Chains A and B, each alone.
Chain A
Amino acid sequence: GNSVTQMEGPVTLSEEAFLTINCTYTATGYPSLFWYVQYPGEGLQLLLKATKADDKGSNKGFEATYRKETTSFHLEKGSVQVSDSAVYFCAQVNAGNNRKLIWGLGTSLAVNP
């Protein structure tokens, strides 16, 4: 079945460090891919998305490229800030799945000043 696998956390970085959070997926067909962010005590916010191969989603300095050949959608940011501390979820949705989101386990990021 369709699934999403994320790198395990927690990830701890110093401010201005480079961030990569790995995400790979298995799917039938061609899903759309998403990164959601959950700040402490808050709900789920869409961070970025990509709907087809080679698309790059970007927002707030974060980027992720839809790589069909490696079935990956890794999240990157060149210089993290303390305010980026949150849990990051990779997810996919496929038209054949009633559009339900299939989620990774989430990766907790802590950025220290």
Chain B
Amino acid sequence: EPEVTQTPSHQVTQMGQEVILRCVPISNHLYFYWYRQILGQKVEFLVSFYNNEISEKSEIFDDQFSVERPDGSNFTLKIRSTKLEDSAMYFCASSDSGRVYGYTFGSGTRLTVV
């Protein structure tokens, strides 16, 4: 079964530092997403990406956040200057336009900002 791979599984960073969370989506998928889950809370949509551009972003996804698909396989989420409240589990997902909304999630990156 194809997988979405996320690295690292856990990252600790100091407040104000930049972090890059990496994802390798399933190779024939066309839609890519980042979601986050603050500990014990709801899963929240951050951004969707299609055809090499952002198709939608949430209010959470402010100027401190950016996404890239630099080489056709990786899909990255960058947080420029981390805040304590960015501490969360970040999930990458990809979706195949052929299968009906066949989302596959990665296992997540736990980001801890100290």
CB atoms of B33 and A44 under 8 A apart: no
Which residue of the partner chain, among A43, A98, A100, A105, contacts B108 with CB atoms under 8 Å? Answer: A43
Give the complex CA separation of A89 and B43 in angstroms.
9
Give the contact stretch, choosing among B20-28, B64-72, B77-85, B95-103.
B95-103
CB contact under 8 A between A98 and B100, given known A43-B91, A44-B43, A103-B43: no
Which residue of the partner chain, among A36, A44, A51, A103, contacts B101 with CB atoms under 8 Å? Answer: A51
CB atoms of B56 and A100 under 8 A apart: yes
A23 to nearest B CB, angstroms? Answer: 14
CB-CB contacts of A83-113 with B at 8 A, as 1s and 0s?
0000001010100011111111110000000
CB-CB contacts of A21-45 with B at 8 A, as 1s and 0s?
0000000000010101000001111
- Residues of chain A at the chain B interface (Cβ within 8 Å): 32, 34, 36, 42-46, 49, 51, 89, 91, 93, 97-106
Kindly list the 3 A-B residue pairs having the minimum CB-CB distance in the complex, ordered from nearest: A43-B107, A98-B56, A43-B108
- Residues of chain B at the chain A interface (Cβ within 8 Å): 31, 33, 35, 41-45, 48, 50, 55-56, 89, 91, 93, 95, 100-101, 103-108
